[in-house]
Amino acid sequence: MALLLEDRKTLNKLNKLLSINPGTLEIIGELEVTTEKEIKEIVEKAKKSFKEWASLTIKQRCKYMKKVSDYIMKNLNNIAELISKENGKPFVEAITADIMPTLELIDYVIKNSENILSSENINLGKWNLLNKKSYIEYEPLGVIGIISPWNFPFSIPMGQIVMALTCGNCVILKHSEHTPFIGLEIEKVFKESGLPQGVFSVITGHGLTGSQLVSSGLNKIVFTGSVSTGKKVMETAAKTLTPVVLELGGKDPMIVLKDVNIDYASSGAVWGAFTNSGQVCASIERVYVHEDIADEFIYEVVKKTSMLKQGIGLDKTTDVGAMISLQQLEIVENHVNEAKSKGAKILIGGQRNLDLPGYFYKPTVLTKVDDSFKIVTDETFGPVMPIMTFKNDDEAIEKANNSIYGLSASIWTKDIEKAKRIASKLQAGSVNINDCLSTYALCQTPWGGYKESGIGRTHGKFGFMEFVQPKHIHVDYNYNTKKFWWYKYSQNTIDMFENFLKFMFSDSKISSSLKFLEKFSKNKTI
Ligand code: NAD
């Protein structure tokens, strides 16, 4: 393992990227890093391609998206295999969490984009009486840079790319240094659909490459990754006033109420905390269970955790795969060790899985933790579930909201009306009642965070809006009558407006309207 890390460091210095399977530590391949000069050329090419691409109708652009979908369907197994190999996730999750949401999103975009992006009339209220009309046209922005993480290496960038392209933008993707071959596969998927040259490109590299893309004069950056990198992206983007969407980390709470179906909720907790090895922005990272049912709930969670099989992603019976890197594994180890040293009780797991060759941490459940522990406050991003208790709903809400993050949250109960009341009080971009995580795959709904979990939204109507410029067009059909607020000004103009305001915004409607009409008749425009 040490040799391999050294190899990676040396290659990085040589402007190369080494991709490995984190489950087996086998080398997948080596790639050249895109240089700054090449990035500039790619950006120029995209800018040139924009005019023609933007001039197509949405229907024409959707035809390309359909070809993208067909290509994915035809190559389902190969794509899923690559995702599982380069990311380390179970093969089944490559299909359910990467490919399925992508196909679903393309279908949604094809069926709904024309309607969502068609021009929209605005009701002008009183001003309608003056025969004025306003409407909005949604115009593409230009060239969009998309910077992606490795955890859902296909579904996250694919969804953003498809929406951005359909809106008429050109796109440049900088994929994660941990999953560069999936980046190339995405390039191929779009190339095979016959997209015109320069409309979509992929660049390869580390953080520096991402930073070079951010400062290359694009029209928007859509970044998905950690809070610390997100802040750097925003700082760099500020220098050129490039707008950003930031989809950042989370520390998502699960609230389990007293009346819950314990069998159902404990299964949900185990899946929500350990799927993708817990490397999900919306993983269940903190559990708050009502104290009256805590023992039974914890017993079920531990029992079900012990039934999980950890292994190589391509082994079709693997439930929990590898972690992406040694660095990520060490963060998990650090959080768990700190918790242990402060008196946490490890009920299962709590250490690396050394029976397997790659970066594996055993699914871990722990209790006797509180918000003085990193495992409760910081994003752990690993297969770890800290469980705490609460006495009443207010305490659960307060504990859930006590975080710098606010991506998603979940409430588990049979009392749906009560859960809705709690949901309204939670500071999170998405609140699930009796489910978790899967709303990311509901492409019809907005995805994004409160607080440090991010800025802006992807998916759904709000996601589309991030990729367009709303242009307001105003028409005055009264093109012969000069406006009464135009020159020239006089005391009469002031009196006219005073009465106009009284008529509009006070109770003395009749007298002010008469006075207004009198002043209006004397008003002189030039
Ligand atoms: P990361 O921040 O380390 O990297 C994300 C991407 O940014 C990578 O492509 C990386 O090369 C690039 N990058 C690094 N430094 C950069 C810089 N200075 N300028 C521009 N780009 C730079 O995150 P990661 O480890 O790849 O992903 C895990 C994180 O992503 C977690 O915090 C997770 O919660 C978050 N995430 C959020 C969402 C969401 O939708 N909110 C989804 C998935 C992952």
Tell me the mean pLDDT in the region 93-115: 98
> 225 CA distance to ligand 1 centroid (A)?
2
CA-CA-CA-CA torsion sign (83, 87, 93, 98): negative
pLDDT band at 402 (very low <50, low <70, confident <90, very high): very high
Q: Is the pLDDT of residue 49 over 60?
A: yes
Tell me the mean pLDDT in the region 39-49: 98
Residue nearest to atom 43 of ligand 1 (CA): 281
Tell me the mean pLDDT in the region 398-427: 98
- Predicted TM-score (pTM) of this structure: 0.96
Query: How would you classify the pairing of strands 408-412 and 405-406?
Result: unpaired
> 173 CA distance to ligand 1 centroid (A)?
13
Q: Is the pLDDT of residue 1 over 90?
A: no
Tell me the mean pLDDT in the region 270-279: 98
Structural domains of the chain sorted by starting position, each given as residue range(s) with its CATH number in brackets = 14-248+461-471 (3.40.605.10), 252-442 (3.40.309.10), 484-522 (no CATH)
Q: Is the pLDDT of residue 3 over 60?
A: no
Which atom of ligand 1 is found nearest the CA of 281? 34
Just list the catalytic residues: 247, 281
Residue nearest to atom 26 of ligand 1 (CA): 149
pLDDT band at 4 (very low <50, low <70, confident <90, very high): low
pLDDT tens digits, residue range 355-381?
999 999 999 999 999 999 999 999 999
* 445 touches 459 (CB < 8 A): yes
% of the chain with per-residue pLDDT over 70: 97
Residue nearest to atom 8 of ligand 1 (CA): 176
Residue nearest to atom 9 of ligand 1 (CA): 176
Q: In terms of Cα–Cα distance, which of 285, 261, 289 is closest to 389? A: 289
Query: How would you classify the pairing of strands 170-174 and 143-147?
Result: parallel
pLDDT tens digits, residue range 56-79?
999 999 999 999 999 999 999 999
Which atom of ligand 1 is found nearest the CA of 149? 26
What is the per-residue pLDDT for 14?
Answer: 64
Which atom of ligand 1 is found nearest the CA of 227? 32
What is the per-residue pLDDT for 438?
Answer: 87
> 223 CA distance to ligand 1 centroid (A)?
7
Which atom of ligand 1 is found nearest the CA of 447? 40
How many other C-beta atoms are found inside a 10 Å radius of the C-beta of residue 486? 11
3-state secondary structure of 388: strand
3-state secondary structure of 188: helix
Tell me the mean pLDDT in the region 498-508: 94
Ligand 1 — pocket residues by CB below 6 A? Answer: 147-151, 156, 174, 176-177, 206-207, 210-211, 214, 224-226, 229, 232-233, 247-250, 281, 379, 381, 407, 449, 454
pLDDT tens digits, residue range 290-314?
999 999 999 999 999 999 999 999 9
Which DSSP helix (H) or strand (E) runs through 28?
strand 27-32
Q: Is the pLDDT of residue 517 over 70?
A: yes
Q: Which amino acid is at 232?
A: K
C-alpha span between 436 and 328 (Å, rounded):
23
Tell me the mean pLDDT in the region 474-484: 95
Length of the chain: 526
Residue nearest to atom 16 of ligand 1 (CA): 207
Q: In terms of Cα–Cα distance, which of 72, 113, 54, 66 is closest to 459? A: 113
CA–CA–CA angle 241, 245, 249 (5° rounding) = 130
pLDDT tens digits, residue range 102-112?
999 999 999 99
Q: Is the pLDDT of residue 218 over 80?
A: yes
C-alpha span between 387 and 78 (Å, rounded):
39
> 176 CA distance to ligand 1 centroid (A)?
8
3-class SS letters over 270-334: HHHHHHHHHCCCCCEEEEEEECCCHHHHHHHHHHHHCCCCECCCCCCCCCECCCCCHHHHHHHHH
| Mutation to probe ligand 1, out of 86, 147, 451, 455 (largest number of atoms < 8 A from CB) | 147
C-alpha span between 22 and 361 (Å, rounded):
12
C-alpha distances in Å from residue 367, one per residue of 171, 256, 265, 272: 46, 15, 17, 17
pLDDT band at 10 (very low <50, low <70, confident <90, very high): low
Q: Which two tokens stand for residue 385?
A: 């579930």
Burial of 115 (0-12, 13-18, 19+ CB in 10 A): exposed
Tell me the mean pLDDT in the region 10-17: 74
> 58 CA distance to ligand 1 centroid (A)?
31
pLDDT band at 5 (very low <50, low <70, confident <90, very high): low
Tell me the mean pLDDT in the region 171-191: 98
What is the per-residue pLDDT for 427?
Answer: 98
pLDDT tens digits, residue range 317-328?
999 999 999 999
| Mutation to probe ligand 1, out of 281, 324, 325, 329 (largest number of atoms < 8 A from CB) | 281
Q: Is the pLDDT of residue 13 over 80?
A: no
> 348 CA distance to ligand 1 centroid (A)?
30
Q: In terms of Cα–Cα distance, which of 264, 265, 263 is closest to 289? A: 265
The chain-wide mean pLDDT, for the chain, equals: 96
